[in-house]
Chains A and B, each alone.
Chain A
Amino acid sequence: MKTYGTKLVVSVVAFIAVVGGIFAYIANQGNEESSEPISDETASSASAQPTVDVTSPATPVTAPSGSSNAPTSSVASKYKDGTYQATGTYESPGGSESIGVSLTLKSGVVTAATVTRGANDSWSERYQSMFISGYKAYVVGKNIDTINLDRVSGSSLTPKGFNAALTQIKSEAKA
């Protein structure tokens, strides 16, 4: 248990570095629309910028069957598959804040990531929200019939005549 504790501390420091780096990155971008590269980099590679030398991952909470219980920390780029969780704390001008990070690794690649907010201060909450929304992967569609729904909300159905008119215009344009 003792070694786990040490590893956790190392990881937490690493995560804080990641968090801090991405905060800085977001701040540099200065607008929410440029979240694209952040998600790309963090999602595609464990060594995405800012470079953090994570020498040992945090305790895996779920590991695929067949793997040993204790995560080995031999080579820096080879992480065991599994889900890792850590909570980072940092000092903000508003006091001590925390943020939780959970990463799923497969073959050394982050395949899923979630961030949980623990902000006490409204500004921190704001930045953490930005971080969370910037960090999350892109939204994916699911087939409607895979979920039990009472209704679907989206753009309104087009009025009768609208589509007919549009079709006519398109065919005239081709002629």
Chain B
Amino acid sequence: MASHFEFEAIGTHWKIDIFDRIPKEREHALLAAIHARIAEFDKAYSRFRDDSLVSEMARKGGEYRLPDDAKQMLDLYKELYDITDGLVTPLVGQVLVDAGYDAKYSLTPKSSIAPAKRWEDVLEYEFPMLRLKEPALLDFGALGKGYLIDIVAGIIRDSGVAGYLVDAGGDIAFRNSIEKPMIQVGLEDPQDMKKIVGAARISGESICGSAGNRRAWNKFHHIMNPKTVESPKHILGLWTVADTTLLADGLSTALFFVGPEKLAKYRFEFAILFSDRSATQSKGFPGNFFV
């Protein structure tokens, strides 16, 4: 029998499928390893807990030696920061908190919210070192979850499993196998969660979706323009497909701020639903919208 796990972690619902038949003991060991790894990640990068590395950075500037797993994430952040002219940035953390998206979910915006500070004014990054010229609240929400999905998928793969699906709140890493050659993924209608606006067929890569309908409060949603201090409204939702969930997740945030042509150096596919419900998609997007 294939295995199926569901649990809550990092503020989202995880659904993991193992399509290989594995014995119960191996299943338990695998699940324990996954939980331990997620806890480790959360301890480092969550801004929602006081004892995390990120919270320490928010209290105290200075030189920090980053965990090994920070490299891929920070490297992509820096690239996207440069490409989007500073709109994808971990420094959006303070903006989100000021807007009310804080550890206590106060969801009450301050009367005036300052734009995010510039990377070059606050951060000096050269892996494995990160120097903060002043205390700064970093938020890895743009791609942290996607990266953690890859890490979890890696644990599963390293355990000898061939086919699996890791789904954390609709962001998905899928490895196909004889048991499950492909999956059909519905693209949730941001205006009606009982509906889908399209479907994609995924056969061995990752898909991420991003929309402003949930995690929305006041006039904001979870994606925030760090300069204008507004949540983008021109896009209802978008989906990206790439070889890694890290990349798919990061690009899904970036597409709220820049056109796909700016991201041409990456190998990925996309589908965008605009606020007037018109849509566009890349030539190779493995699915379609319903029109």
- Which chain A residues have a beta carbon within 8 Å of chain B's beta carbons? 32-33, 35-36, 39, 129, 133-134, 136-144, 147-162, 164-166, 169
Contact = CB atoms under 8 A, between A and B. Distances in A.
Query: Interface residues of B: mostly helix, strand, loop or mixed?
Result: strand
B11 to A, nearest CB: 3
12 contacts: A136-B291, A138-B278, A139-B198, A140-B197, A141-B195, A142-B290, A144-B186, A152-B170, A153-B172, A154-B211, A159-B215, A169-B107
B42 interface: no
A164 B105 CA distance: 9
Interface of B: 8, 11-13, 15, 104-108, 145, 165, 167-172, 183-200, 207-215, 217, 222, 234, 237, 239, 273-274, 276-280, 283, 289-291
A150 B183 contact: yes
Nearest to A154: B188
Nearest to B207: A153
Contacts of A153: 170-172, 185-188, 200, 207-209, 239
Given A143-B195, A157-B169, A165 B188 contact: no
Nearest to A148: B184
Contacts of B105: 159, 161-162, 164-166
A167 to B, nearest CB: 10
Given A39-B278, A133-B279, A144-B195, A155 B211 contact: yes
Contact of B13 (A32, A137, A150, A157): A157
B188 A151 contact: no
A39 B279 CA distance: 12
Contacts of A157: 12-13, 169-170, 214
Contact of A151 (B165, B198, B212, B283): B165
